[in-house]
């Protein structure tokens, strides 16, 4: 029986050693898992911080772009208003030019005593110097 009790005690010691080794492995694995989870949380927090900073930066850029858009929109509206005024002036000047050309075309070209016959005046060119003096007055000024 001594033999069997010695064998039993050896196997019992071996069983305890195995149990202690398994407990030690479990503790190592638990510590490793905790460390891995801590690293994962830190990585996740770092990513969250980076994304939060990026959101702030993009919001600032968006605000700047919207401010610029407001300025450009206001300038565009001013230019459109100026363009409308200029277009109205062009229409008025075209109307006046047509009226003057109509008046000139209705005048008799043979009536040389009324108008100066100098060739240096082009009545149909709106940019030429226009003087409407009777011939007698115009000749007396020369």
Residue 85 burial (10 A CB sphere; 0-12, 13-18, 19+):
exposed
For residue 123, name the pLDDT band (cuts at 50, 70, 90). low
The pTM (predicted TM-score) of the whole model is 0.47
Tell me the mean pLDDT in the region 95-110. Answer: 86
d(CA 16, CA 13): 5
What local confidence, expressed as pLDDT, does residue 5 receive?
Answer: 52
- Does residue 135 carry a pLDDT above 70? no
For residues 120 and 97, the answer to whether their CB atoms sit within 8 Å is: no
What local confidence, expressed as pLDDT, does residue 83 receive?
Answer: 97
């Amino acid at each position: 029986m001594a033999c069997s009790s010695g064998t039993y005690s050896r196997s019992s010691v071996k069983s305890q050693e195995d149990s202690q080794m398994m407990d030690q492995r479990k503790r190592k694995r638990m510590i490793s898992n905790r460390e891995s989870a801590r690293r994962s949380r830190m990585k996740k927090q770092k990513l969250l911080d980076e994304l939060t900073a990026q959101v702030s930066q993009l919001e600032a850029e968006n605000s700047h772009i919207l401010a610029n858009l407001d300025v450009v929109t206001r300038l565009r509206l001013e230019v459109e208003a100026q363009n409308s005024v200029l277009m109205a002036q062009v229409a008025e000047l075209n109307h006046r030019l047509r009226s003057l050309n109509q008046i000139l075309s209705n005048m008799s070209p043979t009536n040389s005593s009324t108008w100066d016959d100098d060739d240096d005046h082009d009545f149909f060119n709106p940019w030429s110097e226009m003087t409407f003096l009777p011939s007698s007055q115009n000749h007396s000024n020369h």
